[in-house]
């Protein structure tokens, strides 16, 4: 029977206890969430600075719903250009290109980079084993040898670089790892890239807005990767993404990135929201300080318990339970105590590392964090 594997795949997912379901959210902000009439403390949001709410709609430069076509036809509007210029100015890049999502930006850019008509084309893409699915998918889609290195392991990366012969090499990492919360050793990776004539691409989805002295993420380390991806759905609290690079690389993507060429340009209202949110984010010094204090407080309280989270100084603080059953049981007990935390299971994370992905935001109070830690102790 046609498509019978669909029934089979669903049955297997259920049997493995890995069935995924959407949750209908009635109301949410960075620190509270209402589901099925119940309000919970929200420790599952990527709205790290609390910017997804309190938008000042009077500041939007456009409230047009649609861009009406792809950017290469008539969809590229002045609001898009303003947003690109603001991003370039803030992050120190020559040029930028907008995408409707970070997933699209990553997959399509990697694919386009490694699609060449050149006869002698040889390329290799080196990816951290914990890279996001969109980076992995993009890396596999192009015409490059796909090489993975152990998470944040510089020696392993070095040996992979030494062993792999290719004219065009690209190391790909995340600035802050989405499921572990740790940061990549960007300065060291950049040195390795330089000494092996490799380019560097960094996905700063969880770093932009929150990491570094000015909250700019990777570029605050003084390193400017050849390709930087920032997404608007996390600290910026809206939606979309940008790829930043040299003018020449962006020109190349304008020619050969099929997602960019064939998709309707980002809605002008969303580009306006992103522009507004970018300005809020750049000025969000107080929320960033509050976030740092909250993270430090959570870590201090956790260190006084027997619990151990994956070492992380960022808003993402994962607590590993091992099996999917254990993590779901802990998640349900937390729900009963009025706390909402994401339970992350394989295949999103490696086998036997199912975890609660606790996210701290600037909107949490010290009491929220104290209550969370005491509840974690009780359910673990
Ligand atoms: N990269 C990373 C590291 C992410 O965590 C995510 C979102 N889960 C994305 C890219 C995709 O971004 P978006 O949500 O804008 O598609």
Domain locations in the chain as residue ranges:
18-51+285-379, 60-282
Active-site hit among 178, 198, 267, 294: 178
Tell me the mean pLDDT in the region 241-246. Answer: 98
pLDDT value of position 40: 98
Label residue 287 by pLDDT band (50, 70, 90). Answer: very high
Dist. CA 155–CA 164, nearest whole Å: 14
3-state SS class at 84:
helix
Looking at residue 120, its pLDDT comes to 80
Q: Pick from 231, 236, 314 the residue to mutate for probing ligand 1's pocket: most ligand atoms within 8 Å of its CB.
A: 231
Q: How high is the pLDDT of residue 135? A: 98
| Given 80, 169, 206, 299, the catalytic residue | 206
Which of helix, strand or coil describes residue 94?
Answer: coil
261-286 pLDDT, tens digit each: 999 999 999 999 999 999 999 999 99
Q: Is 233 in the pocket of ligand 1 (CB under 6 A)?
A: yes
Q: Is residue 171 over pLDDT 90?
A: yes
| Extended strands (E) in the chain | 25-28, 32-35, 38-42, 95-99, 123-128, 145-149, 168-174, 198-203, 227-231, 241-245, 316-322, 339-340, 342-344, 354-359
C-alpha to C-alpha distance for 196 and 218, rounded to whole angstroms: 20
Residue 299: pLDDT band by 50, 70, 90 thresholds?
A: very high
State the distance from the centre of ligand 1 to the C-alpha of 103, rounded, in angstroms. 6
| Bridge partner residues of 228 (DSSP) | 202, 244
Q: How far is it, in rounded angstroms, from Cα 265 to Cα 268? A: 8
Question: Has domain 18-51+285-379 been given CATH number 3.90.1150.10?
Answer: yes
Residue 268's pLDDT is: 98
Q: Is the minimum distance from the CB of 101 to ligand 1 under 6 angstroms?
A: yes
What integer best gives the mean pLDDT of the chain? Answer: 96
With beta carbons less than 8 A apart as the criterion, state whether 342 and 44 touch.
yes
Q: What is the pLDDT of residue 22?
A: 94
Residues 6+ apart with CB under 8 A from 182: 152, 176, 310, 311, 312, 314
Q: Provide the greatest CA pair distance for the chain.
A: 63
Q: Is the pLDDT confidence value at 246 over 80?
A: yes
**DSSP characters for 234-252?**
STT-S--EEEEE-HHHHHH
For residue 174, the ligand 1 atom closest to its alpha carbon is 3
pLDDT tier, 358 (very low <50, low <70, confident <90, very high otherwise):
very high
More confident residue, 184 or 121: 184
Strand partners, 146: 125
**3-class DSSP assignment, residue 91:** helix
pLDDT: which is higher, 194 or 56:
194
Indicate the pLDDT class of residue 54, thresholds 50, 70 and 90. Answer: confident
The top-scoring range by mean pLDDT among 19-23, 119-123, 309-313 is 309-313
Residues 203, 259, 363, 368: which is the catalytic one?
203
We find that the CATH architecture of domain 60-282 is 3-Layer(aba) Sandwich (3.40)
Ligand 1 in contact with 357 (CB < 6 A)? no
Rounded-to-integer distance, Cα 325 and Cα 137, Å: 28
**Confidence at residue 175, expressed as pLDDT on a 0 to 100 scale:** 98
What's the average model confidence in pLDDT over 172-191?
98
Which residue's C-alpha comes closest to atom 15 of ligand 1?
102
CA of 165 to the centre of ligand 1 (A): 30
Question: Confidence class of residue 99 from pLDDT cuts 50, 70 and 90?
Answer: very high
Q: Which residues pair with 270 in a beta bridge?
A: none
ipTM, two decimals: 0.99
Our answer to whether residue 132 is catalytic in this structure is: yes
By most ligand atoms within 8 Å of CB, the mutation choice from 128, 139, 178 for ligand 1 is 178
Give the per-residue pLDDT at 18.
Answer: 85
Tens-digit pLDDT profile for residues 210-223: 999 999 999 999 99
209: left (phi over 0), alpha (psi -120 to 50) or beta: left
Contact 243, 256 (CB under 8 A): no
- Compute, in angstroms, the gap from residue 102 CA to the centroid of ligand 1: 5
> Quick one: pLDDT at residue 119?
78
């Amino acid at each position: 029977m046609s498509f019978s594997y669909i029934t089979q795949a669903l049955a297997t997912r259920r049997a493995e206890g890995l069935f995924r379901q959407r949750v209908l959210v009635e109301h949410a902000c960075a620190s509270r969430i209402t589901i099925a009439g119940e309000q919970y403390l929200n420790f599952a949001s990527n709205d790290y600075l609390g910017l997804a709410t309190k938008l000042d709609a009077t500041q939007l430069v456009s409230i047009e719903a649609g861009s009406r076509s792809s950017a290469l036809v008539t969809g590229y509007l002045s609001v898009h250009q303003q947003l690109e210029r603001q991003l370039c100015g803030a992050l120190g890049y020559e040029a930028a290109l907008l995408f409707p999502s970070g997933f699209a930006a990553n997959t399509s850019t990697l694919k386009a980079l490694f699609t060449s008509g050149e006869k002698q084309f040889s390329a290799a893409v080196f990816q951290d084993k914990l890279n996001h699915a969109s980076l992995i998918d993009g890396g596999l889609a192009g015409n490059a040898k796909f090489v993975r290195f152990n998470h944040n392991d510089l020696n392993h990366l070095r040996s992979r670089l030494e062993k792999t012969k290719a004219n065009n090499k690209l190391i790909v990492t995340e600035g802050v790892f989405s499921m572990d919360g740790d940061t990549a050793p960007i300065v060291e990776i950049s040195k390795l890239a330089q000494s092996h004539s490799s380019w560097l691409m960094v996905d700063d989805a969880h770093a932009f807005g929150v990491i570094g002295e000015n909250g700019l993420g990777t570029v605050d380390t003084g390193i400017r990767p050849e390709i930087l991806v920032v997404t608007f759905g996390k600290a910026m609290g809206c939606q979309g993404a940008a790829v930043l690079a040299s003018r020449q690389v962006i020109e190349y993507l304008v020619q050969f990135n099929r997602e960019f060429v064939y998709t309707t340009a980002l809605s002008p209202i969303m580009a306006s929201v992103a522009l507004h949110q970018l300005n809020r984010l750049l000025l969000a010094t107080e929320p960033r300080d509050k976030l740092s204090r909250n993270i430090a407080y959570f870590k201090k309280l956790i260190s006084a318990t027997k619990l151990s989270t994956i070492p992380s100084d960022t808003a993402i603080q994962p607590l590993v339970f091992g099996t999917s059953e254990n993590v779901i049981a802990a998640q349900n007990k937390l729900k009963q105590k009025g706390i909402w935390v994401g339970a992350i299971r394989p295949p999103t994370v490696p086998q036997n590392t199912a975890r609660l992905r606790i996210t701290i935001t600037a909107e949490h109070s010290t009491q929220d964090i104290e209550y969370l830690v005491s509840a974690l102790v009780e359910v673990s």
